[in-house]
Amino acid sequence: MTAKARHDIEISFDNNRLLPLLYGEHNANLVRIERQLGVKLATRGNVVSIAGPAHSAETARSVLSALWLRASNDEPIGPAEIDAALRLKTPAEAPQATVAPVIRTRRKTIAARTATQSIYMRAMENSELVLGIGPAGTGKTYLAVTQAVAALQNGQVDRIVISRPAIEAGERLGFLPGDLREKIDPYLRPIYDALNDLLSPEQVEKRIETGEIEIAPLAFMRGRTLAHCFVVLDEAQNTTTVQMKMALTRLGEGSRMVVTGDPGQIDLPGGIRSGLNDAIEILRDVEGVSIVQFNDSDVVRLPLVARIIRAYAKALGACPDSSTQ
């Protein structure tokens, strides 16, 4: 049978209560799969018939099986989850469902939406130091903060430390009005947004007051040893080599660190080499370190964002690297 030959498949599900979650309102979820894969889906009770080119029909079966696993865990299924399931299925994969890794917090369960996110999430589980590198919109920072919150809630660490170098698009904190917190809070707002999505704002403030969560500029890390912590160093492309070495050597007993950054968005003054770029080269073969490279195909924001990233990469002569380690 050629790849273009028509193929008919039937797949049945054993819990009618969950069918509305799988099918979506007015079968909206099935319609989205049809449009993405060029297949025809027909329902008869708990049976879905799939008709279309052999490869597309097998992919549809695999996607439906993966979504059924979500439904069985009472996890939401919407456009983002369908698109994630479609991205996670490749031509070489068997039709059987595979379980994407998830991070569970008390408020939310976050599942991988791309193959690289799966690699990244497993790396955060298994490695003491993870470098997540790539363009905006790939979930690097959000997943790192989610993993940190899960580790805190599960008792794996005693506190979370989240930091950024105090350089952003040529702006200087000293020119902002107010005291130190008023100066740095707007700059660190993306971190607060992620935390407020995973914890209530009241919990975030309470944990900050008790020291369970610390959010601070990178300069505050100097001279400290961070034991039993989950450390997230965000926007690391704007560290110098000295700052990066200082941050990495803060790790103490029982701690883990995730470093995130986009080498394509370096805001350091001209002539200063990014500490993130140096770290990628220096740490590539160090035991206990995982380096995960995202590219524009991993962007999980609006599809327009991925197209913008590709357009800029083309215009600036940069070619996004799709390799992972």
Spatial distance between the Cα atoms of 152 and 161, rounded to a whole number of angstroms: 11
User: What does the pLDDT read at residue 80?
Assistant: 80
Task: Report yes or no: 132 and 258 within 8 Å, Cβ to Cβ.
Answer: yes
Residue 320 burial (C-beta neighbours within 10 Å; 0-12, 13-18, 19+)? middle
Closest to 67 measured CA to CA, from 116, 118, 33:
33
Which structural domains are found in the chain, ordered by start? 6-99 (3.30.1370.10), 104-315 (3.40.50.300)
User: What does the pLDDT read at residue 281?
Assistant: 94
User: What does the pLDDT read at residue 261?
Assistant: 95
- Token reading at 46: 């708990």
User: What does the pLDDT read at residue 282?
Assistant: 95
User: What does the pLDDT read at residue 187?
Assistant: 66
User: What does the pLDDT read at residue 169?
Assistant: 39
**Which pTM was predicted?**
0.72
Spatial distance between the Cα atoms of 23 and 309, rounded to a whole number of angstroms: 33
Parallel, antiparallel, or unpaired for β 159-164 and 229-233? parallel
User: What does the pLDDT read at residue 62?
Assistant: 87
- Mean pLDDT for back-to-back runs of 10 residues, the chain (325 residues): 64 90 91 91 92 89 88 83 77 47 88 89 95 92 96 96 72 49 63 91 92 88 91 94 94 95 88 93 94 87 71 67 39
User: What does the pLDDT read at residue 318?
Assistant: 52
User: What does the pLDDT read at residue 264?
Assistant: 87
Tell me the H-state helices in the chain.
19-23, 28-37, 54-72, 79-87, 115-126, 140-153, 180-187, 189-198, 201-210, 241-248, 275-282, 303-315
Task: Report yes or no: 100 and 132 within 8 Å, Cβ to Cβ.
Answer: no
CA torsion sign, 303 to 309 to 311 to 314? Answer: negative
User: What does the pLDDT read at residue 271?
Assistant: 81
User: What does the pLDDT read at residue 97?
Assistant: 45
